[in-house]
Amino acid sequence: MASSNIFFIIAIVTVFAIPSSLATEFVVGDEKGWSLDFDYQAWAAGKEFRVGDKLVFRYTPGVHDVVRVSGVEFQRCEAVNNTDPLTTGNDVITLLTPGRKWYICSVPRHCAARNMKLNITVLSEVGSPFAAPGPIPGSQTPSSSTRGSAVFSFHGWIAFM
């Protein structure tokens, strides 16, 4: 009896722990980093950003910065809400809520003239009861199919046990 209770507790803890451990760390711009004249929208295309994932902005400190802005500020390439910019050169932002997110470099002319801006949509956490429905079969990207397979296999294993 005690061993079945322990197994049940371990199973419940594991069900909640595994999805959060599937969080992905995205280095914005990959090897190019957060820099001038890079197409960040093309970089983000096909990527699946989820609650719990991290964005890492790498750049030379003192040359660039990162500011989270509203959609209107993003379109205008100006941060007007007196938001303090991130300036370390290795800024890590954990995506805490689903929805649209906008980031710019607030150094003059870097956003508007040199394309230092990123717009993403963050989905619910993998395994969340509020997760969006999955993609149409045959249209999955490698990142979504990898995550989905890992979660499905794990939950299938738990159900099997």
2, pLDDT greater than 80: no
Closest CA to 91 of 112, 78, 105: 105
Residue 161: what pLDDT?
A: 42
Task: Report the C-alpha gap between 83 and 86 in whole angstroms.
Answer: 9
In tens, the pLDDT along 7-56 reads 556 555 454 544 445 799 999 999 999 999 999 999 999 999 999 999 99
Q: Report how many domains make up the chain.
A: 1
* Residue 16 lies inside a defined structural domain of this protein: no
* Residue 9 lies inside a defined structural domain of this protein: no
* Residue 47 lies inside a defined structural domain of this protein: yes
Task: Report the C-alpha gap between 93 and 134 in whole angstroms.
Answer: 25
In tens, the pLDDT along 76-128 reads 999 987 789 999 999 999 999 999 999 999 999 999 999 999 999 999 987 65
* Residue 116 lies inside a defined structural domain of this protein: yes
* Residue 134 lies inside a defined structural domain of this protein: no
**Predicted model pTM:** 0.68
Residue 83: what pLDDT?
A: 81
